[in-house]
Structure 1
Amino acid sequence: MSVQPNDWLMDSGTTAATSLSPDMVRGKLTANAPLAPLVWFKAGGAADWLFEPADLDDLTRFLGTVNGGMQVMALGLGSNLIVRDGGVPGVVIRLGKAFAKVRDLGDCVLECGGGASGILVASTARDAGIAGLEFLRGIPGTVGGFVRMNGGAYGREVSDVLVDCDVVLADGTLITLPARDLRYTYRHSALPDGAVVVAARFRGQPGDPVAIGAEMDRIAAAREESQPLRSKTGGSTFKNPSGDKAWRLVDAAGCRGLTMGGAQVSEKHTNFLINTGNATSAEIEGLGEEVRRRVRASQGVALEWEIQRVGRP
């Protein structure tokens, strides 16, 4: 998933939003588009506009026409995202098949479209005998999202393997940024608001495809065993504090199984929130805040959200 910075509380839109028309693009531009079906929690409001560009030229032309006149948010798999019940003003951009290609450039470098999944990237690397990218198998999102958020799993993160990335800015300008310009920290980058990552290059090292595949299988099995993957969830809820684990703090605060409306702290992994049925995004976010309150009160630690929260309350 690729989104704006955490806790993106947005206003009701701009004049530019009302002047859009599906006729101005070759892809699909939809007004008042429900976002709940597109995110893992299956909750939340609609986007004022949802744009699914036909290709890179379609995207740059559209954003050039808008020219920064409205808020822009990119959406990947929606795996690490709470869309608030009031919906998302401006335009949400969802990259489709045209942005989901992965190819081997040689010298252990893969070029990956912003809409490509972590599983596809890791599988392509395996087939090409490129080691070091196996951890991407454990990130439930797309290249655009985990480049923006410095996604990581199983001891590695994007900053370890990124060479550079192609980014379309909110005014339609296409630029290439080397990894150093993203100034990565834990689950954070310096990508500007409204920027859409459309491609990235990752570098690994030579490896044995059989060994790479075995490591990918190990990661997949570990996720299946420890995480509530078959529930309506949003991935890891809170960042791990330095020297500790968020799940341990949540468990120690007595929050395992805690509920608020249709939202619940997972019994299987306490750093996951679950939509048990028809939870609202307000219930999911409210439960997360209650967990934070209890952890702070009982252990003096202020947990930080890892899940992104966007839109109008």
Structure 2
Amino acid sequence: MMSAAPRHSALIDRLPAVRGRLTEGASLAKVTWFRVGGPAEVLFKPADVADLQHFLAHCPADVKLTVLGVGSNLLVRDGGIPGVVIRLGRAFAEIRTDGLHVHAGAAALDLNVALAARAAGVAGLEFLSGIPGTIGGALRMNAGAYGSDLSQIFVSATALDRQGRLHRLDRDAMGFTYRHSAVAEDWIFCGADLAGRAGDPSLIQQRLNEIQAAREDSQPVRARTGGSTFVNPPGAKAWELIDRAGCRGLKLGGAQVSEKHCNFLLNTGTATAADLEALGETVRRRVKESSGIELAWEIKRIGVPADSPLAILARSEA
């Protein structure tokens, strides 16, 4: 297959001046858990909320924007992501506690939020330690694990719309359903206020230990993976359907269905994003043929294929 020709577009010249960092052709493969995928046409790391607001308010309306967290439940296609990829950094990762409330920035790791809650004697947030992502991603998909989900601890959230206006969202505005929120896709979460109940830090730590042990026992946590691949259908478990369809250990190129937990796809070391996506579609087809159930992707797939005329070639390091 012929590689895509470099596109020396003037996109970066059309973008507003910022206090953060704008980088052309920045690698994304090294920041996703799968360790695959093409670069960003332009990567923007805002200095803080005000910098992001300024950027949104002055960014041309025709420029496509994509928000990237820690890349844990994400597959970036091999041709990369046209437009601007926004990656929130340290300024969006603050965690603070006030009584039984925990405020977490959108870039705060779910695990770190669970640990901060433990230190403050706030119970009910332990399940976050089993979700390998950020609070922003958890808000977007109502992330859940080990018997709870974000909607059960949610108080409010803040988000910026495409014009840079700040909104405070209550539970009704979030529209939580299973692994989904109804907030507009082009809104960017800045942070959330969460609430738990009073708890003994030693008992909270015990629950955290149980969750860690359960993850390590049942999931390929040290592999190059994107976490849970497909949403559990109503009344069924995706991994069981995949197993019954004979897909445990199935390989395609450098991609493989995990032997340990077959709702996980693995990069065995040489996989491309195309390998992983094609393997996932093969699994979906086989499950549909064997059970009549059509699995829905839980992993978010973004960007363009390597042979797309919009494909981006890396031109510098992030």
The Cα of 1:16 is off from its aligned counterpart by 8.4
> Following superposition of structure 1 onto structure 2, how do residues 51-90 of structure 1 map, counting pairs within 5 Å?
51-66=44-59, 68-90=61-83
8 Å CA contact 1:131, 1:205 repeated in 2: yes
The Cα of 1:96 is off from its aligned counterpart by 0.9
SS in structure 2 opposite 1:24?
coil
SS in structure 2 opposite 1:294?
helix
The Cα of 1:173 is off from its aligned counterpart by 1.2
> Following superposition of structure 1 onto structure 2, how do residues 101-120 of structure 1 map, counting pairs within 5 Å?
101-106=94-99, 108-120=100-112
| Structure 1 gap segments, 5+ residues each | 1-12
Counterpart residue type for residue 82 of structure 2: P
Q: Which of 8, 20, 45 lines up with 1:27 in the alignment?
A: 20
Give me the whole-angstrom Cα distance separating, in 1, the residues matched to 2:62 and 2:169. Answer: 24
SS in structure 2 opposite 1:282?
helix
Give me the whole-angstrom Cα distance separating, in 2, the residues matched to 1:207 and 1:20. Answer: 52
Give me the whole-angstrom Cα distance separating, in 2, the residues matched to 1:18 and 1:137. Answer: 38
Q: Alpha carbons of 1:229 and 1:117: their partners in 2 closer, same or farther (altered >3 Å)?
A: same
Give me the whole-angstrom Cα distance separating, in 2, the residues matched to 1:16 and 1:188. Answer: 36
Give me the whole-angstrom Cα distance separating, in 1, the residues matched to 2:29 and 2:217. Answer: 27
Counterpart residue type for residue 151 of structure 1: A
1:312 aligns with 2:304: yes
Give me the whole-angstrom Cα distance separating, in 2, the residues matched to 1:254 and 1:82. Answer: 24
Q: Which of 137, 142, 150 lines up with 1:145 in the alignment?
A: 137
The Cα of 1:251 is off from its aligned counterpart by 0.5
The Cα of 1:49 is off from its aligned counterpart by 1.0
Give me the whole-angstrom Cα distance separating, in 2, the residues matched to 1:204 and 1:68. Answer: 40
Counterpart residue type for residue 60 of structure 1: Q
8 Å CA contact 2:75, 2:299 repeated in 1: yes
Counterpart residue type for residue 274 of structure 2: A
Q: Give the structure 1 partner of residue 231 of structure 2.
A: 239
The Cα of 1:180 is off from its aligned counterpart by 1.5
Q: Give the structure 2 partner of residue 158 of structure 1.
A: 150
Q: Give the structure 1 partner of residue 11 of structure 2.
A: 17
Counterpart residue type for residue 75 of structure 2: I
> Following superposition of structure 1 onto structure 2, how do residues 41-56 of structure 1 map, counting pairs within 5 Å?
41-56=34-49
Give me the whole-angstrom Cα distance separating, in 2, the residues matched to 1:280 and 1:86. Answer: 11
1:190 aligns with 2:185: no
1:150-172 deviations in Å (ceiling 9; x for gaps): 00000101111111111011221
8 Å CA contact 2:95, 2:116 repeated in 1: yes
RMSD over aligned CA atoms reads 1.5
8 Å CA contact 1:72, 1:92 repeated in 2: yes
Structure 1 runs (4+) greater than 2 angstroms displaced: 15-21
1:252-274 deviations in Å (ceiling 9; x for gaps): 10001101100000001000000
The Cα of 1:105 is off from its aligned counterpart by 2.4
Counterpart residue type for residue 104 of structure 1: T
The Cα of 1:127 is off from its aligned counterpart by 0.6
Give percent identity, aligned residues only. 53
8 Å CA contact 1:16, 1:70 repeated in 2: no
Counterpart residue type for residue 22 of structure 2: L
SS in structure 2 opposite 1:180?
helix
Q: Which of 100, 113, 123 lines up with 2:115 in the alignment?
A: 123
1:164-190 deviations in Å (ceiling 9; x for gaps): 111011221111111221111111111
The Cα of 1:204 is off from its aligned counterpart by 0.5
1:12-71 deviations in Å (ceiling 9; x for gaps): x9x9835345x8111111111111001000001111111111111111111111053312
Larger displacement relative to structure 2 (251-260 or 63-72): 63-72
| Structure 2 gap segments, 5+ residues each | 1-6, 306-318
Q: Give the structure 1 partner of residue 33 of structure 2.
A: 40
8 Å CA contact 2:12, 2:24 repeated in 1: no
Larger displacement relative to structure 2 (202-211 or 185-194): 185-194
8 Å CA contact 2:53, 2:160 repeated in 1: yes
1:90-122 deviations in Å (ceiling 9; x for gaps): 11111111111100122x111101100011100
SS in structure 2 opposite 1:235?
strand
Q: Give the structure 1 partner of residue 313 of structure 2.
A: none
SS in structure 2 opposite 1:215?
helix
Normalised to the residue count of structure 1, the TM-score between the two structures is: 0.92
Q: Number of residue pairs matched? A: 298
1:259 aligns with 2:236: no
The Cα of 1:250 is off from its aligned counterpart by 0.4
1:278 aligns with 2:264: no
Normalised to the residue count of structure 2, the TM-score between the two structures is: 0.91
